[in-house]
Chains A and B, each alone.
Chain A
Amino acid sequence: MYNFALLDESSKREVRRALLKAIAIPGFQVPFASRELPIFFGWGTGGLQITLSIIGPDEVLKVFDQGDDDSVNAVNLKRLIQLTTGVEVTGRTQAATLLQTRHRIPEAPLRADQVLVLQVPMPEPLRKVEFRESETVRMHAEKDYGKMYVKLYEDVLHHGEITLASDYPVLVFDRHLMAPTPIPRWDVPKLHQSQHLSLFGAGREKKIYAIPPHTGVEPLSLEDHAFRVEDFSSKACIFCGSTAAYLNEIPAPQGARQAYACSDVAYCHAHRTTREAAL
């Protein structure tokens, strides 16, 4: 009934052209037409258009949402990709060749033969300080990022801290300011000089961008206020005991002890298995 990987071939080719340009100019947002898909805009259509445009029949696919392969939207995306391509699907980070993610980068380091596709809600890092697209385009062209530094400075002035939580703006290849997607700050260092290729797709906002392997990615900071990742000191996962992973807190009833669990479920599972084997 439908073409391999759903989209018609000319639509896929347009996405691949945008990808090539994006890889050639790290961190630069390449506009593309962006087709409507059988899932809603805002639910991963940018990532999905990239995945559908580069996937081959031999790919091993992992799709995860907030670190979880079993989260409903991740399952739904996988269902659609599998239905139209028949590729093999895995939950294991190491086994996958193509990984599509929403808002997390796996805890396990990725290899050079793996491609990470990130779903992007708001591709424009400057939208926080400038709502007009024609103006943000100019600011990028002129590397005019002063407003963003002023925001950081005002944060420190009013709150004593930089208030940006996730989707922390980064400078790529010392040239383009880029939104790393709402990954936690914890994941930002994983983009710096990475082995793997990262591709970013924003379906609704119709932009594609990329970080090629071995590219410098620096989170924005002030001289006297360094970038800091989330603080999980003295906390551990209640399932695997890890103290080296991003944790989600589990709201506890009053009086009960606050518990934490790994957000990367594949990592948690692997860590638990090795720990149990060692015991």
Chain B
Amino acid sequence: MSYVGVKGGKDAILNAEQLVEYYRCRKGGRPLAVDQIQNQMRLLVDKVMSEGSLYSPEIAAIALKQTEGDPMEAAYLVRAFRSTVSRTCFSVPAKSEEMFCIRRISSSFQDIPWGQVLGPSRDYAQRLIRFDLKDEAHLAVDPPRTDDNAPLDEPVEKVVAYLRRQGLMETPVKDHDQVPYDITRQPMAFPMDRSARLQRLTRGEDGAVLALGYASLRGWGSVHPTLAEVRVGYLPVKIRHPYWRTEVVIGSVMVTEVEAICSFKKVEDPQSGTERYLFTLGYGMVFGHNDRKAIAMSILDRALCADQPTSPVEDQEFVLFHIDNMESQGFISHLKLPHYVSFQSALDRIRSIRDKSNNTRANTPAS
């Protein structure tokens, strides 16, 4: 008698695993090469690296292959792998002015130093399905010719630097002694400091970050930014050499960075006692090429700076507890586990209460 539904233990799960593999392969054809995913599913790989919080296009691509293209599962695999690797060192803070940009636009100023560079962008593409891709024979597309030979591989000044020179934009106070908060090694505590908040946001699930950022923009919050800059490019990563104590470049990561100019506020200068009005800043940076997530992140960053939250998206606990896809998908899917014991306990309660109310009714004389 099979009285425990999800039972049969080992054989059942081994068979389920084998079936998953069978479903991945059953239609035959050529096995998908990891480098194909890595090179032709660039944005999907970027999403998995960003949520998986590990910069490795190859591991992300293998994870996508293993999970039949489920980006949430793939990101989970990447994070779980991350837990088995020990931390050897921190990088020195990266300077995004040093980024080698492949894309850089501003919606605040028409002419920005070094100009607007669209780069690889679908922003102005017509969303028409290209049926010719069905029979694509070769991967041979040349980069477009450009009349402008200005190189972008030298440090490019930020648009907000211009506003700061004018005394119109707040400047975050730097604490040089501050050790970066590491949310993978330190507990979450509220209120969460900004470095920890940014880490939670950048690992957040694409759709969740987008939805909450959108909610703020639409009216459930007060952030309606103008984008100072959206940058996509290769950011050099440096560490301090263990012996020489000098900074050495160990590689670069592709990132998307957004600086959003948000509403201005009145600030009192502690020295002179004078009052000034300054724009506030929202900041977003994510692994890989993902404009929309970086923009939504910059909105949420600003929203979470609110002293007095007036809407859910300004509430640290509401936003930061619920945007992590590892936590949300894990807990939602745990509902599939057996709950026989606790449900039996709930049955005991409902029957007991029902009996009690039936008795009360029986004992009440009819009027």
Spell out A's residues near B (CB within 8 Å): 2-3, 6-11, 14, 31-38, 40-43, 45, 65-76, 79, 102-104, 121, 132-134, 137, 159-161, 163-167, 182-186, 204, 206, 230-231, 246-250, 261, 263, 265
Closest to B356 in A: A160
Residues 68-95 of B contacting A (Cβ, < 8 Å) = 76-77, 79-80, 82-87
Interface presence of B338 (CB below 8 A): yes
Query: Which residues of A lie under 8 Å from residue B7 when comparing CB positions?
Result: 68, 70-72
CB-based contact A43/B334 at 8 Å: yes
CB-based contact B8/A166 at 8 Å: no
16 A/B residue pairs, CB under 8 Å, sorted by A: A36-B82, A40-B329, A40-B333, A41-B331, A42-B330, A65-B337, A68-B4, A70-B7, A70-B9, A70-B10, A71-B7, A121-B331, A160-B353, A160-B357, A166-B342, A263-B344
User: For the complex, what is the distance from the CA of A121 to the CA of B327, rounded to whole Å?
Assistant: 11
Query: Which residues of A lie under 8 Å from residue B333 when comparing CB positions?
Result: 40, 42-43
- A36-B82, A163-B349 as given contacts; A263 in contact with B187, CB under 8 Å: no
Residues 336-367 of B contacting A (Cβ, < 8 Å) = 337-342, 344-349, 352-353, 356-357, 360
CB-based contact A261/B3 at 8 Å: yes
Contact of A165 among B330, B338, B345 (CB under 8 A): B345
Interface presence of B33 (CB below 8 A): no
CB-based contact A33/B184 at 8 Å: yes
CB-based contact A103/B342 at 8 Å: yes
User: For the complex, what is the distance from the CA of A159 to the CA of B76, rounded to whole Å?
Assistant: 43
- Smallest Cβ distance from B4 to chain A, in angstroms? 6
User: For the complex, what is the distance from the CA of A176 to the CA of B184, rounded to whole Å?
Assistant: 27
- A75-B13, A261-B3 as given contacts; A132 in contact with B341, CB under 8 Å: no
User: For the complex, what is the distance from the CA of A164 to the CA of B345, rounded to whole Å?
Assistant: 9
User: For the complex, what is the distance from the CA of A265 to the CA of B341, rounded to whole Å?
Assistant: 13
User: For the complex, what is the distance from the CA of A261 to the CA of B190, rounded to whole Å?
Assistant: 45
Closest to B10 in A: A75
Contact of B86 among A10, A160, A246 (CB under 8 A): A10
User: For the complex, what is the distance from the CA of A159 to the CA of B355, rounded to whole Å?
Assistant: 11
CB-based contact A33/B187 at 8 Å: yes
CB-based contact B338/A76 at 8 Å: no
CB-based contact A185/B337 at 8 Å: no
Chain B binding surface, main DSSP class? helix
Size of the B side of the interface (Cβ < 8 Å), in residues, is: 56
Query: Which residues of B lie under 8 Å from residue A103 when comparing CB positions?
Result: 339, 341-342
Interface presence of B20 (CB below 8 A): no
Interface presence of B25 (CB below 8 A): no
Contact of B340 among A45, A204, A263 (CB under 8 A): A263
Q: How many A-B residue pairs have CB under 8 A?
A: 173
Contact of A67 among B12, B84, B341 (CB under 8 A): B341
Other contacts beyond A36-B80, A36-B82, A134-B191: 20, CB < 8 A: A7-B84, A8-B84, A31-B188, A33-B185, A36-B83, A40-B334, A41-B327, A41-B331, A70-B7, A70-B8, A70-B9, A71-B7, A73-B337, A133-B190, A134-B190, A134-B317, A159-B356, A166-B345, A166-B346, A167-B342
Interface presence of B272 (CB below 8 A): no
- A31-B189, A37-B83 as given contacts; A66 in contact with B341, CB under 8 Å: yes
Query: Which residues of A lie under 8 Å from residue B189 when comparing CB positions?
Result: 31
Query: Which residues of A lie under 8 Å from residue B326 when comparing CB positions?
Result: 36, 40-41
Query: Which residues of B lie under 8 Å from residue A204 when comparing CB positions?
Result: 327, 330-331
CB-based contact B330/A43 at 8 Å: yes
Query: Which residues of B lie under 8 Å from residue A35 when comparing CB positions?
Result: 82-83, 184
Q: B77, B84, B332 — which one has the most chain A CB atoms within 10 A of its CB?
A: B84
CB-based contact B6/A7 at 8 Å: no
Interface presence of B183 (CB below 8 A): yes
Closest to B188 in A: A206
CB-based contact A8/B85 at 8 Å: yes
- A76-B13, A165-B348, A246-B341 as given contacts; A42 in contact with B331, CB under 8 Å: yes
Query: Which residues of A lie under 8 Å from residue B12 when comparing CB positions?
Result: 72
Interface presence of B186 (CB below 8 A): yes
Contact of B352 among A72, A132, A161, A183 (CB under 8 A): A161
Query: Which residues of A lie under 8 Å from residue B85 when comparing CB positions?
Result: 8
Query: Which residues of A lie under 8 Å from residue B334 when comparing CB positions?
Result: 40, 42-43, 121
- Smallest Cβ distance from A274 to chain B, in angstroms? 21
Query: Which residues of A lie under 8 Å from residue B186 when comparing CB positions?
Result: 33
User: For the complex, what is the distance from the CA of A45 to the CA of B345, rounded to whole Å?
Assistant: 24
User: For the complex, what is the distance from the CA of A248 to the CA of B84, rounded to whole Å?
Assistant: 39
User: For the complex, what is the distance from the CA of A45 to the CA of B356, rounded to whole Å?
Assistant: 40
CB-based contact B83/A11 at 8 Å: yes
Query: Which residues of B lie under 8 Å from residue A182 when comparing CB positions?
Result: 339, 341-342
Contact of B341 among A36, A42, A161, A184 (CB under 8 A): A184
Query: Which residues of A lie under 8 Å from residue B183 when comparing CB positions?
Result: 33
Residues 264-300 of B contacting A (Cβ, < 8 Å) = none
CB-based contact B327/A71 at 8 Å: no
Closest to A36 in B: B79
CB-based contact B330/A41 at 8 Å: yes
CB-based contact A31/B342 at 8 Å: no
Contact of A38 among B80, B87, B321, B352 (CB under 8 A): B80
CB-based contact B184/A161 at 8 Å: no
User: For the complex, what is the distance from the CA of A41 to the CA of B332, rounded to whole Å?
Assistant: 9
CB-based contact B327/A8 at 8 Å: no
- Smallest Cβ distance from A53 to chain B, in angstroms? 12
CB-based contact A206/B317 at 8 Å: no
CB-based contact B344/A184 at 8 Å: yes
